[in-house]
């Protein structure tokens, strides 16, 4: 075995890269397999803890998985995998009960029933919340506590997975680099990528700094199939106060009746869509973008419908607004769209297998087919729970041991210097040319600029290199799809072309 470049070689039954809802769920489901859970930040960081809106699941007396599935497919604009949607909505209620058994505390009514909210695209109240708008934080807390109590899981914090180790056509582990510069080889017959999305490719995003497209880039370098990379969801209402990342203003605020208005206090969504502020996210986000493109500013007005109840109903948002000197009980909240979620990624089966033997994936890094061209609000945490569990179950019953032969290990390299100016140049390029509204000229320009940028940056594995590679995948896919659908809107091809329906091109 080629180990001279490594400070330590560690073996396990499985390696999970990422410690959000999908990674934690997968790791828990693999018992009694020996699992290494790797996170490049601290356990509990990442996008899951920031999720405000809630978890969608058909747990109400007037709801059903089939109704939830119908709403999911309607928003997905013809690209959903019906089987994947059926799995998501059918298994969702049981995964909620698992969370409750693990200690998750969801908001309940006086009789102990789940207090359910409604969000855009949903035909029923089916959104579970915790402490109003701190659902992700509660889910992360409960799952993290369960992982720390699980004897089969070892957590490795501050460890950046740089590349997949591929041996004889199958994945056999990951090369990693720690914060102190140590180089690790984590060898296992199963690797799960649960690294989240690509939000930091864009100038304006709600995603934390660590969301740099690592999983998509690693999988692509190793030869796994990716699909639907062009479909990026921009959340309509991020708090526009100059923060990076931008603070999210949960869709549940609009679910309670808050209105979008311009600087004169005039609503504009009523002339855009029959559901007005509760139209699908891509519709609302582009409507706000158009207002901004014509010189208007946009605010979210919750004064009349929430008012003095804001600190109790939405304590997280109230705190974020207060930090920026805004009192949503009496003030309008300035908003702007921001990159929020990626519907594309590693193509997987219903148990999370990729096209590359030995590699599974779960959560936002994947293209399961659940979301299609546009994710239904509050289906993201549910996807991580459902498919993370399915990945864990699959590995628990199918994975054997590593072959005894020598494995060629990729060098994780040394950490290159951070290049904030280069990163911001990439993010601005993507926002302006591969953002909410795209066209062929802008996308071709972005592809050329990304190619030039790739030639200039340090070749050592890094977050910047992953960002550049992931950006190239998004821009090339967006240039190739000559239609508009869901989160992908081409001003030069504004209509939906039915010849693209059902296609998930890599």
**pLDDT the model gives residue 118:** 84
Contact predicate 478/470, CB 8 Å: no
Asked if residue 280 and residue 156 are part of one domain, the reply reads: no
DSSP 145-213: HHHHT-TTEEEE-SEEEEEEEEETTEEEEEEEEETTS-EEEEE-S-EEE-----GGGSSSBSS-TT-S-
**pLDDT the model gives residue 246:** 95
**pLDDT the model gives residue 359:** 97
Asked if residue 371 and residue 263 are part of one domain, the reply reads: no
Q: Is the dihedral of CA 486, 384, 392, 345 positive or negative?
A: positive
Contact predicate 374/228, CB 8 Å: no
In a domain, 21, yes or no: yes
**pLDDT the model gives residue 47:** 82
In a domain, 18, yes or no: yes
**Catalytic annotation, pick one of 141, 254, 281, 390:** 281
Asked if residue 313 and residue 352 are part of one domain, the reply reads: no
490 part of the active site: no
**pLDDT the model gives residue 503:** 64
Asked if residue 381 and residue 299 are part of one domain, the reply reads: no
For the chain, the domain total comes to: 2
**Tens of pLDDT along the chain (506 residues)?**
344 467 888 999 999 999 999 999 999 999 999 999 999 998 888 888 877 779 999 999 999 999 999 999 999 999 999 999 999 999 999 999 999 999 999 999 999 999 998 887 889 999 999 998 889 899 999 999 999 999 999 999 999 999 999 988 999 999 999 988 899 999 999 999 999 999 999 999 999 999 999 999 999 999 999 999 999 999 999 999 999 999 999 888 998 999 999 999 999 999 999 999 988 888 999 999 999 999 999 999 999 999 999 999 999 999 999 999 999 999 999 999 999 999 999 999 999 999 999 999 999 999 999 999 999 989 999 999 999 999 999 999 987 776 655 677 788 888 787 789 999 999 999 999 999 999 999 999 999 999 999 999 998 899 999 999 999 999 999 999 999 999 999 999 999 999 888 766 55
Asked if residue 305 and residue 367 are part of one domain, the reply reads: no
In a domain, 264, yes or no: yes
**pLDDT the model gives residue 404:** 58
User: Which CATH number goes with the domain that contains 43?
Assistant: 3.50.50.60
In a domain, 93, yes or no: yes
In a domain, 225, yes or no: no
Asked if residue 257 and residue 113 are part of one domain, the reply reads: no
Distances (CA, A) of 206 to 68, 274, 355, 375: 26, 27, 30, 16
Measured torsion, CA atoms of residues 192, 193, 194, 198, in degrees rounded to the nearest 10: -170
Asked if residue 75 and residue 130 are part of one domain, the reply reads: yes
Q: How far apart are CA 54 and CA 505, in angstroms?
A: 31
Asked if residue 44 and residue 25 are part of one domain, the reply reads: yes
- State pTM to two decimals: 0.94
Q: How far apart are CA 24 and CA 19, in angstroms?
A: 5
**pLDDT the model gives residue 1:** 37
**Domain membership of residue 360 as a residue range:** 8-198+343-398
Asked if residue 152 and residue 63 are part of one domain, the reply reads: yes
Q: Which of 305, 338, 371 is the last residue of a domain?
A: 338
């Amino acid at each position: 075995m080629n180990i001279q470049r490594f400070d330590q070689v560690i073996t396990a039954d499985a390696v999970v890269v990422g410690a959000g809802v999908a990674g934690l769920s997968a790791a828990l489901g693999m018992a009694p397999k020996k699992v290494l859970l790797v996170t490049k930040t601290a356990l509990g960081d990442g996008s899951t803890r920031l999720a405000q809106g809630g978890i969608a699941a058909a747990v109400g007396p007037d709801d059903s998985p089939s109704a939830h599935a119908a709403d999911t497919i309607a928003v997905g604009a013809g690209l959903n995998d019906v089987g994947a949607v059926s799995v998501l909505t059918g298994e969702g209620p049981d995964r909620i009960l698992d969370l409750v058994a693990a200690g998750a505390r969801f908001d309940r009514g006086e009789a102990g029933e789940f207090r359910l909210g409604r969000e855009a695209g949903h035909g029923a109240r089916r959104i579970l919340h915790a402490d109003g708008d701190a659902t992700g934080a509660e889910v992360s807390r409960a799952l993290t506590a369960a992982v720390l109590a699980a004897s089969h899981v070892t957590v490795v914090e501050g460890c950046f997975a740089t590349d997949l180790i591929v041996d004889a056509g199958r994945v056999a582990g990951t090369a990693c680099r720690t914060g102190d510069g140590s180089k690790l080889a984590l060898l296992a017959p199963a690797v799960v990528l649960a690294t989240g999305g690509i939000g930091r490719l864009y100038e304006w995003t709600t995603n934390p700094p660590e969301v740099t497209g690592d999983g998509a880039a690693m999988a692509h370098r190793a030869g796994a199939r990716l699909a639907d990379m062009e479909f990026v969801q921009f959340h309509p209402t991020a708090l526009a106060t100059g923060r990076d990342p931008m603070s999210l203003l949960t869709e549940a605020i609009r679910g309670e009746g808050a209105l979008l208005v311009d600087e004169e206090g005039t609503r504009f969504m009523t002339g855009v869509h029959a559901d007005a502020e509760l139209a699908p996210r891509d519709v609302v986000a582009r409507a706000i973008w158009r207002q901004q493109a014509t010189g208007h500013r946009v605010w979210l007005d919750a004064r009349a419908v929430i008012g003095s109840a804001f600190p109790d109903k939405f304590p997280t948002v109230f705190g974020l607004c207060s930090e920026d000197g805004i009192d949503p009980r009496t003030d309008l909240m300035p908003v702007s769209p921001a990159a929020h979620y990626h519907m594309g990624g590693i193509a997987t089966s219903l148990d999370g297998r990729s096209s590359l033997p030995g590699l599974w994936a779960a959560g936002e890094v994947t293209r399961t087919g659940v979301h299609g061209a546009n994710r239904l609000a509050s289906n993201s945490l549910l996807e991580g729970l459902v498919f993370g569990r399915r990945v864990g179950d699959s590995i628990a019953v199918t994975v054997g041991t590593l072959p005894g032969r020598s494995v060629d290990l990729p060098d994780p390299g040394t950490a290159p210097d951070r290049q904030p100016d280069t990163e911001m140049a990439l993010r601005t390029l993507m926002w302006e040319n591969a953002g909410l509204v795209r066209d062929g000229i802008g996308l071709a320009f972005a592809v050329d600029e990304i190619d030039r940028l790739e030639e200039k940056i340090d070749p050592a594995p890094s977050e910047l290199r992953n960002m550049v590679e992931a950006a190239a995948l998004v821009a090339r896919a967006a240039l190739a799809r000559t239609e508009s659908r869901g989160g992908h809107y081409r001003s030069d091809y504004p209509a939906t072309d039915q010849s693209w329906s059902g296609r998930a091109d890599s």
